[in-house]
Homo-oligomer: A and B are copies of this chain.
């Protein structure tokens, strides 16, 4: 069900690869490669990349057919090289060429449950024990993995893939080439309540979730539907595992979020941001474009300006941490004591100042 893990089906020559990658080849154009590998484990049918000087010894001893690298590193490589300005990006493309996702075969597993009123493109696949409800619309070459549930009235665009056991709640909208990993829940009714004395009264959540083209949603990640309007993940945004996106959020195009982060309702994140792992954001914030947060940052206010933001205390030996925290709890008092000291020392200041000038 995770097609890129299937054995490589493609074989390409170094010459073909150089052409497709726009790389300069130093070595035999007809030499064929079948797979990508690490420098240390490569065999004569493997393609590698080199971008990190820590692996220089591996590069020098590699048995690969060829290595993608930058011009400056070429002299260290004992085998054929594909020279390019961005070896990591070229490697990503080469790996995708050598290990393409399996083709989707149209049809449905006999155990799949497809409602009579669902419209499924003949080139789409509905997997074993998957459920597609009334009025759902499944586009060309869509892959609905085993055990997935596609709610009533959902719309899934061409070439999208629900790997396995994905839940898409009623009425959600998925663009093209969207990849949703197992256990993800898209479009659950958001956490909206009004207080009635001690009781909580649920507020119907009437918006949808919209996942635009080329979005990726990680395993067991949850994206809640909007209260009145939609929760939107814009095109090209990539979400890792175990992320929570609250109702009415908007995540900007090409923004990437690492695992375990939680974004409270109605927060908007701009374009091309990166959000480290386990970042928490309060609700109703506005985060601009090109804003970056390091892991575990606690985001309690809006940040409009591009830049890198952080918080949190890095781990230290526990005894040291206990002393630090004890001091921290008296920091207010410490600051007041410093102020008193300054006031006491102040009269001496002019004299001392003269001395030191």
Contacts and interface: CB of A to CB of B under 8 A. Distances in A.
Interface in A298-314: 298-301, 303, 307-314
A23 interface: no
A4 B204 contact: yes
A183 B205 contact: no
A282 interface: yes
Interface stretch (A11-19, A74-82, A116-124, A257-265): A257-265
A58 interface: no
A250 interface: no
A197 to B, nearest CB: 9
Contacts of A30: none
A290 to B, nearest CB: 10
Nearest to A179: B202
Interface in A278-304: 278, 280, 282, 293-301, 303
Given A194-B91, A218-B222, A298 B277 contact: no
A345 interface: yes
Contacts of A228: 36-38, 41
Given A88-B194, A313-B313, A188 B182 contact: yes
B298 A298 contact: no
Interface string A197-219: 01111111110100000101011
A103 to B, nearest CB: 15
A241 to B, nearest CB: 4
A191 B238 contact: yes
Nearest to A151: B1
Contacts of A195: 89
B188 A218 contact: yes
B189 A5 contact: yes
A78 to B, nearest CB: 20
